[in-house]
Each structure stands twice: as structure tokens, then as C-alpha cells.
């Protein structure tokens, strides 16, 4: 082990201080930048329930695409946009509203009456009437809207994952 001269000690101190200060500055800029870019914005608008349509005339087990307008917070804007839901009324009068996008890569799927399946035209994912994946690359069942029924009016809340995922 070599013995450090006074000059070498001084040099070590300067080099160490330079690294330490630049490290501190990088952290003081980097952490706020990380938080700023990756933390989600504070939600000011609570999610609102919107009326999707009348379900009185819905035939059981026959999915219908309902379109409705809803307000969505998009960054600094609140936009009113057209949304759709595939609504299914089961035989026991329970209503489920599926989000309109395939869970594989987000294509719009549709109900095929002849096959009794939801068909995604992009990569041939097939879903059953309860949203289950029958075949194809879709990794999970169809997403559902939170929903509640008042009289014959169907009210929809935010989109959620399939019920299995929540548990």
C-alpha cells in the first residue's frame, strides 16, 4: 500500500466532492422528473354514471350494441365522446355491458348471430356470450362496464376488468 501525499489527498477530496455534488444535482432533478412523468394525474372529476339506453325491449341472450355519449377526462380537457357497449340480457334478466374492445390488441369486435359468438376480425379471437375466451390469442375475457339498472334504464360506470380478475 502506497502512502498518500498531501497533494494526493487533496486531489481525492476534490474529485470526491465533484462526483458527490453532481450526484445530488442529478437526483434533485431526476426524482421530480420521474414523479412528474410517471405518477398519474390527480382525478378531479369523479366517474359519472351515464345512461346507455333502454333495456326493456332487449331480447334475452341477444347482444345489442348500444351507443351513448359520455364525458371523459383527457389530460387537461374533458371531452364528450361517443362510446359503445355490447349489452347482453340473460334469461334471468341480469344485464351485462361489455367494453367494445377485444382484450388482445384493442380491435373492435362484433356479435356474430349465426355462430352465437363475439368475433374479433383482427386476429380471430372468439368470445362466448358471457365474455369468456373461446379461442384465439385474446389473453382474458371481455372487459365489463360497471352497471346498474334503474327501472328499464341501463346506467354505466367506468370500464373494469372481467369479474374473475378483480377477485
Partner 1 sequence: MRRRWQNLSHWLDHRTGIQTAVRQFLYEEIPASSGWHQVFGSVAVFLFLVQAFTGALLAFNYAPTPGDAYNSVRYILTELTGGRLIRGLHHWGASMMIVVVVLHMTQVFLYGAYKKPREATWMVGVVLLLVTLAYGLTGYLLPWDNRAYWGTVVTTQIAGMAPVVGPYLTRLLGGGGAVGVVTFARFYGMHVLLLPPATLLLIAVHVYLVRKHGVAATPGDEALPKKQFYPVQVFKDTVAIFVAFAILFVMALVARVPLEQLADPTDTSYIPRPEWYFLFLFQTLKMFNGTLEVVGAVVLPGLAVLALVLVPFLDRGQMVKLTRRTVAFASVAFAAITWTGLTVAAVRSTPPPSEDAEVDYSAPTDWMQLSPEELAGVGYFREENCISCHAVGGHGNKIGPDLTATSIHRDAAWMIQHFKRPSAMRPGTSMPPIQLSDAQLNSLAAFLLKLNASNATALDNAPDFAVQGALVYQAGHCAACHLVNGVGMKIGPPLNGLSKRESRSWVEEHFANPQKLSPGSFMPPYKLAPKDLENLTSYLFALPE
Residues that bind partner 1 (CB under 8 A): 11, 14-15, 17-18, 21-22, 24-25, 28-29, 32-33, 35-37, 39, 41-44, 46, 75-77
Give the SS3 label for residue 97: strand
- Output the smallest distance, CB 15 to partner 1, in A: 5
CA distances from residue 32 to 22, 39, 41, 42 in whole angstroms, order as listed: 16, 10, 14, 16
What value does the CA radius of gyration of the chain take, rounded to a whole number of Å?
27
Question: How many C-alpha atoms does 93 have within 13 Å on its Cβ side?
Answer: 5
Q: Shortest distance, CB of residue 153 to partner 1, whole angstroms?
A: 23
CB of 73 to partner 1, least distance (A): 9
Q: Which is nearer to partner 1, 30 or 106 (CB)?
A: 30
Q: Considering beta carbons, is residue 76 or 91 the nearer one to partner 1?
A: 76
Residue 49: CB minimum distance to partner 1, A: 17
Q: Give the nearer residue to partner 1 in terms of CB position, either 16 or 106.
A: 16
Residue 115, classed as helix, strand or coil, is coil
Q: Do strands 77-89 and 117-119 pair parallel, antiparallel, or not at all (unpaired)? A: unpaired
Closer to partner 1 by CB, 6 or 139: give it. 6
Instruction: Measure Cα distances from 134 to 47, 88, 90 in Å.
Output: 32, 17, 19
Amino acid at each position: 500500500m502506497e502512502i498518500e501525499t498531501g497533494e494526493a489527498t487533496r486531489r481525492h477530496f476534490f474529485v470526491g466532492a465533484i462526483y458527490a455534488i453532481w450526484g445530488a444535482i442529478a437526483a434533485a432533478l431526476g426524482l421530480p422528473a420521474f414523479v412528474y412523468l410517471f405518477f398519474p394525474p390527480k382525478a378531479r372529476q369523479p366517474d359519472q354514471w351515464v345512461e346507455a339506453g333502454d333495456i326493456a325491449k332487449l331480447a334475452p341472450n341477444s347482444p345489442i350494441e348500444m351507443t351513448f355519449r359520455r364525458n371523459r377526462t383527457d389530460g387537461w380537457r374533458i371531452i364528450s365522446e361517443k362510446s359503445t357497449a355490447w349489452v347482453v340480457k340473460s334469461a334471468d334478466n341480469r344485464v351485462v355491458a361489455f367494453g367494445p374492445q377485444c382484450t388482445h390488441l384493442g380491435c373492435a369486435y362484433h356479435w356474430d348471430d349465426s355462430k352465437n359468438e363475439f368475433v374479433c376480425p383482427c386476429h380471430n379471437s372468439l368470445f362466448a356470450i358471457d365474455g369468456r375466451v373461446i379461442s384465439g390469442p385474446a389473453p382474458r375475457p371481455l372487459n365489463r362496464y360497471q352497471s346498474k339498472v334503474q327501472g328499464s334504464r341501463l346506467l354505466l360506470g367506468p370500464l373494469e376488468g372481467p369479474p374473475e380478475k378483480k377477485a
